[in-house]
Structure 1
Amino acid sequence: MDAIFDKLPDAPALSSQSRAWSGILVEYYHHIANELIAPRLAQHLITLNCGKPYHLIQRFDGHIFEKQVQPGNLILTPAGQPTEWIWDSEVDVLHLLLEPEFINKVVTEVFEGNSAQIEILNSFATPDPRIQQIGQLLLAELESEQLGNRFYGESLANALTVHLIRSYCTVKPVVRHNSSGLSKSKLKRVVEYIQDHLDQDLSLNEIAFEINLSVYHFTRLFKQSMGLAPHQYQIRCRVERAKELLQQGEMAIADIATRVGFYDQSHLNRHFKRIVGVSPKVVQQNSKNFLYISNSVQDRTA
């Protein structure tokens, strides 16, 4: 089967390719008026209109769909079928490509069902506030021009997939919930693992595997136990570790930022000020002043 974007003459303005999010590829395009034919899609494709209304014709599975696509509307095209699109004006769209294996994995782990019974349905020019919200959050991550956080990107991908299965499948499986949170031993293992790898861009799959849970159940149970999503907890741990290093007064702020896993100094500054209430420079300067006063007192009493 073909990768649909191999057929396009233009390159994406933004792409998640370098971020290595598991199961999903997110790309933002500005397309000129065009016609696109793909023999068979390798991935399930969600296209979100991020710009002005445009007229679209789609030929899919022997049917012809034609409509004015409004801002925020989605076109959901399942994998495995030939398809053709024709649009007559410039468009700004966000393409979300989900691997069928990733969908099947979520069906098995989250819904404890048989993925062979699940069929993703075609949907044309449909409003869906939940998918629009997730798409906007993913787009904001791409626009940040920073490597970001794999925990966050993969959390959004899982939330998107669960919603897709619930809302756009022939069978509507039910999620089995456990409301007790993580056990003390599993929570301890996760917390220690995150804190021991603060300088690494960890994957949710990696952490969930450590405690033998699906990504969906891990993220939900972790939040029940800690009151924070995994990516939020990781950021707070990085800020706390940075604060400790700043108070030691031995490293430059830029070096501390990369040591604790932030992309650069500005990335640290943004989260540090949001959580601590002051900039890293203020904490570092206050620590230097405290050390200076302490040393002076020791010199006078020696």
Structure 2
Amino acid sequence: MSSSLIKPHLVHLSGSGTDLGHAVAERDRELAAGKPSVAQPAVGPNTHVLVVHAGAATNLGWSADGFVRRERFHHGQSLINPAGWAARPRWEEDVELMLVALDPGWLERLADEGGFRGTLEITPRYHCSDPLLSMLVERLVLEYEGSGPADTLYAQSLVQALAAHVIKVAASRGGGPGPGASGLSPRRLAQVTDYIHANIAERISLDDLARVAGVSASHLTRVFRVSTGQSPHQYVLRLRLEHARRALLGTDTAIARIADACGFADQSHLTRTMRRHLGVTPSALRTGR
């Protein structure tokens, strides 16, 4: 039986081998703690490793930040281990795992193409319930377990989607957006903010704003933040709160009507949001004017 390319101490069951270039997908078995097996290395793999539990529920103990932890893992729950991270997992029973290893250099380049600069840092995540991550890993592993040759283009598309998801949920940037990152042109930014002001009472989606700006929804979030220092969501929320604050202080309009006119779902939504962000309720703000 061939060895795991991701973690040599695992019992290898199936996998992509080197077919994907910048990624490896495998189904492996890890023996319970105390059973004879290849010793685990002191340093983790030089790739970012996604692990999805594929068997019956069992307990896992591991070490992190000087602490020993223990959780019960159910089918589909996952872990994200950054390159070099050695958590020394200890399963109470033999377990079947689906793993995907991502090349750090390739993931860095993928993030750079998304408009960010600096060192990409993957944060360890333990005992995750992430249905999308689990589904993508499973589809990728199953593609290499079919009766015929794997569809490499399809498999690579799954890897791209999986990598983008990992960047979204587990990555941070030490340096943030680089000095070369450009925002919206003044004209485009004015069009977007004018649209927000004109439709503050309505549901405003990222797709709506992207159409006004003439860019993709994913790109809009980056360039809008560069231009304003805020995400579109933060900008809209602050504008709604400011409109509500002015109406509460300057008119006797019912709070429920103000909430509706400012784009909040209802009076309770306005109250919760205002208390969280301004530290005061609409009623208290109006009483103290």
User: TM class, shorter-chain normalised?
Assistant: 0.5 to 0.7
Report the AA paired with residue 38 of structure 1.
P
Unmatched 5+ stretches in structure 1: 177-215, 218-302
Cα RMSD, aligned residues only: 2.6
Report the AA paired with residue 67 of structure 2.
H
Match 1:127 to one of 126, 129, 144: 129
CA contact (8 A) 1:14 1:28 kept: yes
Report the AA paired with residue 32 of structure 1.
L
Aligned-residue sequence identity (percent) comes to 20
The 2-side partners of 1:37 and 1:60 are apart by: 15
The 2-side partners of 1:38 and 1:56 are apart by: 18
| Larger gyration radius, structure 1 or structure 2 | 2
CA contact (8 A) 2:6 2:24 kept: no
The 1-side partners of 2:78 and 2:170 are apart by: 12
Structure ranking higher in helix proportion: 1
Note the C-alpha offset of 1:87: 0.7
The 2-side partners of 1:4 and 1:21 are apart by: 13
Note the C-alpha offset of 1:115: 4.3
Matches within 5 A, 1:10-29: 10=11, 12-17=12-17, 20-29=19-28
Q: 1:139 to 1:91 in 2, by over 3 A?
A: same
The 2-side partners of 1:63 and 1:107 are apart by: 31
Q: Tell me the number of residue pairs that the alignment of Structure 1 and Structure 2 aligns.
A: 170
Matches within 5 A, 1:71-86: 71-86=75-90
Give the structure 2 partner of residue 297 of structure 1.
Answer: none
SS of residue in 1 equivalent to 2:108: helix
The 2-side partners of 1:154 and 1:71 are apart by: 25
Write the deviation string for residues 222-257 of structure 1: whole angstroms up to 9, x where unpaired. xxxxxxxxxxxxxxxxxxxxxxxxxxxxxxxxxxxx
- 1:58 maps onto 2:62 in alignment: yes
Note the C-alpha offset of 1:151: 0.9
For normalisation by structure 2, the TM-score amounts to 0.54
Unmatched 5+ stretches in structure 2: 183-217, 220-289
Write the deviation string for residues 190-214 of structure 1: whole angstroms up to 9, x where unpaired. xxxxxxxxxxxxxxxxxxxxxxxxx
SS of residue in 2 equivalent to 1:17: coil
Give the structure 2 partner of residue 108 of structure 1.
Answer: 112
Report the AA paired with residue 25 of structure 1.
V
The 2-side partners of 1:108 and 1:67 are apart by: 35
The 1-side partners of 2:20 and 2:118 are apart by: 22
Write the deviation string for residues 160-199 of structure 1: whole angstroms up to 9, x where unpaired. 011100111234989x9xxxxxxxxxxxxxxxxxxxxxxx
The 1-side partners of 2:117 and 2:66 are apart by: 28
